[in-house]
Amino acid sequence: MRLLSLFIISSIILLGCKKQEKPNGKPHVVATTGMLYDAVVNIAGDKVTAEAIMGPGVDPHLYKATQGDLAKFNKANLIVYNGILLEGKMSEILKKLGRQKPVVAAAESVPKEMLKSAIGYEDAFDPHIWFDVKRWKYAVKAISHALIKLDSSNQQFYEKNTQSYFNKLDSLDAYVKSRISEIPEKQRILVTAHDAFVYFGDAYDIQVEALQGISTVADFGLKDIAEIIDLIIENDVKAIFVETSVSEKSINAVVTGCKEKGHDVKIGGYLYSDAMGELGTEEGTYIGMFRSNVETIVNALK
Ligand SMILES: [Zn+2]
């Protein structure tokens, strides 16, 4: 197995040395998550061809690159990934590819002092920076820089689009703040399966509680479930949430546990955490999925 992965990695390196072809004369950009892909499309428009490795409902913490993905990475003129160990199983390949071609870990451009440490992991940071618009803008800026470096003839076009996308992101930020403030302060508790919303809580003043840590790799225990149940009952929490890229099992166990203790807690709906909705729908864009999450949270907790 180890030999095979060594072989795959060296093949990538060898292929990577060849001059990359640009079909239609346009650079080809490969992003790992939908959020990153959406940023590329907003900045680059039709000046590049772009694709995402992970679609709706895919959990990046557990995702392993397929042969098809490796071929996509090889074809790419630029690879964009989140970094901070979000793409747990792909991180090594991505780092190696970075010696052969432009590869940018967009989330790693967020200043260290704005990162939160990962609960339960020594010397690691929480990778879910996209749920604070302010932090996400650093990642967008890094993608913009990488595109300009790759294709400087379209610099002005990329700069103009980045600015207009920033304006939209600022409006989103204001929208989220105003909607979350509609929830009475003591009801502002967001319970989810895995801890993807720490930056969201920090930026928009809502307490976040999760069964699993910041990665879905570690399992939750009965003790975690009991603690969350107590917290829900103590604070009279009305609703808790399921994530589209994480199994519902743990959240259902919490609902059942609360019922056994005489407290009725509802499933408030589905939240997009580490993956977005289908391409071509509102929720298939960063802004659309963010608004959808906020709508779901406010409607269930208000
Ligand atoms: Zn996650």
Whole-angstrom distance, CA of residue 264 vs CA of residue 257: 10
Q: What spacing in Å lies between the alpha carbon of 118 and ligand 1's midpoint?
A: 11
Whether the CB-CB separation of 39 and 256 falls below 8 Å is answered with no
More confidently predicted of 126 and 218: 126
Sequence ranges of the domains in the chain? 2-175, 180-301
Give the SS3 label for residue 229: helix
Q: What spacing in Å lies between the alpha carbon of 14 and ligand 1's midpoint?
A: 32
pLDDT of residue 15: 47
pLDDT of residue 224: 83
* pLDDT tens per residue, range 98-128: 999 999 999 999 999 999 998 767 778 999 9
164-196 burial, b at 16+ Cβ within 10 Å, e below that, comes to ebbeebeebbeebeebbeebeeebbbbbbbbbb
Q: CATH number of the domain at 2-175, out of 3.30.1370.60, 2.160.20.10, 3.40.50.1980, 3.40.50.720?
A: 3.40.50.1980
* pLDDT tens per residue, range 5-60: 555 555 444 444 444 556 578 999 999 999 999 999 999 999 999 999 999 999 99
Helix (H) or strand (E) holding 14: helix 2-17
Give the SS3 label for residue 28: strand
Q: What spacing in Å lies between the alpha carbon of 15 and ligand 1's midpoint?
A: 31
Q: What spacing in Å lies between the alpha carbon of 242 and ligand 1's midpoint?
A: 13
DSSP state of 67: H
Whole-angstrom distance, CA of residue 28 vs CA of residue 25: 9
Q: What spacing in Å lies between the alpha carbon of 87 and ligand 1's midpoint?
A: 9
- Decide if domain 180-301 falls under CATH 3.40.50.2300: no
Whole-angstrom distance, CA of residue 289 vs CA of residue 271: 8
Q: What spacing in Å lies between the alpha carbon of 212 and ligand 1's midpoint?
A: 10
Q: What spacing in Å lies between the alpha carbon of 235 and ligand 1's midpoint?
A: 25
Whole-angstrom distance, CA of residue 295 vs CA of residue 190: 13
Whole-angstrom distance, CA of residue 35 vs CA of residue 276: 7
Amino acid at 270: Y
Which protein residues have their CB within 5 A of the ion that is ligand 1? 196, 274
The domains spanning 2-175 and 180-301 adopt the same CATH topology: yes
Q: What spacing in Å lies between the alpha carbon of 84 and ligand 1's midpoint?
A: 11
* pLDDT tens per residue, range 153-207: 999 999 999 999 999 999 999 999 999 999 999 999 999 998 899 999 999 999 9
pLDDT of residue 146: 98
DSSP state of 220: P
Q: What spacing in Å lies between the alpha carbon of 47 and ligand 1's midpoint?
A: 31
Task: Match 């269930």 to its residue by tokens.
Answer: 300
Whether the CB-CB separation of 76 and 68 falls below 8 Å is answered with no
pLDDT at 214 > cutoff 70: no
Whole-angstrom distance, CA of residue 279 vs CA of residue 302: 30
- The encoded tokens of residue 157 equal 């076009």
What is the pTM (predicted TM-score) of this model?
Answer: 0.90
Q: What spacing in Å lies between the alpha carbon of 274 and ligand 1's midpoint?
A: 5
Whole-angstrom distance, CA of residue 194 vs CA of residue 111: 24
Q: For the chain, what is the mean pLDDT?
A: 91
Distance spanning both ends of the chain, measured CA to CA: 51
Q: What spacing in Å lies between the alpha carbon of 163 and ligand 1's midpoint?
A: 28
Whole-angstrom distance, CA of residue 242 vs CA of residue 161: 34
pLDDT of residue 245: 87
- Averaged over 283-289, what is the pLDDT? 98
pLDDT of residue 215: 72
pLDDT of residue 229: 95
Maximum C-alpha span of the chain: 66
Alpha carbon separation from 83 to 17, 36, 108, 283 (Å, rounded):
23, 11, 6, 23
Q: What spacing in Å lies between the alpha carbon of 127 and ligand 1's midpoint?
A: 7
Q: What spacing in Å lies between the alpha carbon of 45 and ligand 1's midpoint?
A: 28
Q: What spacing in Å lies between the alpha carbon of 61 and ligand 1's midpoint?
A: 6
pLDDT more than 70, % of the chain: 89
pLDDT of residue 21: 57
Whole-angstrom distance, CA of residue 88 vs CA of residue 60: 7
Contacts of 53 (CB under 8 A, 6+ apart): 30, 31, 32, 33, 63, 65, 69, 72
